[in-house]
Amino acid sequence: MGSGSAIRGSRVGAGPMGEAERGEAAPRIRVAFYCANKHQVVPSFAHDAQIPDEWDCPRCGFPAGKDPENPPAPPKTEPYKTHLAYVKERRSEADGEAILQEAIAKLRAERAAMSSALKSFTD
């Protein structure tokens, strides 16, 4: 196969959309952050902005740090937890499907109960 990752025409330091090239008036700093899931996020900051120590990974919600070898530990008892659990459930599709079906069945039952209640009310 090819010698793949050679030259792609974009320079180091340019954003995926080339915004670093255009924004001459306000130079921006791009800082790479790494989360515990090995995602990389490279937000850009105004040159005079304060660079935070951590950044929320937009892909998994984990905190991401500047050291790829030592990313911040994922939160354990954060409000994120339910959201993460939900994401995990979606990943195992069988489980997700079962939960979905259960929810739909419940909804239908409730709706049926309500409409029959309404009917007997209007009769």
Binding mask 56-95 for Zn ion (x = CB under 5 A): -x-xx-x---------------------------------
Show the tokens assigned to 16: 């995926």
User: What angle in degrees, to the nearest 10, is found between the helix axes of 93-122 and 80-91?
Assistant: 110
| C-alpha pair distances (Å), 24 with each of 2, 12, 19, 59, 61 | 36, 16, 9, 29, 31
123 labelled ligand-binding: no
Residue tagged 């195992």 (tokens): 92
Binding mask 10-39 for Zn ion (x = CB under 5 A): -------------------------x-x-x
118 labelled ligand-binding: no
> Binding-site residues, please?
35, 39, 57, 60
Residues that bind Zn ion (CB under 5 A): 35, 37, 39, 57, 59-60, 62
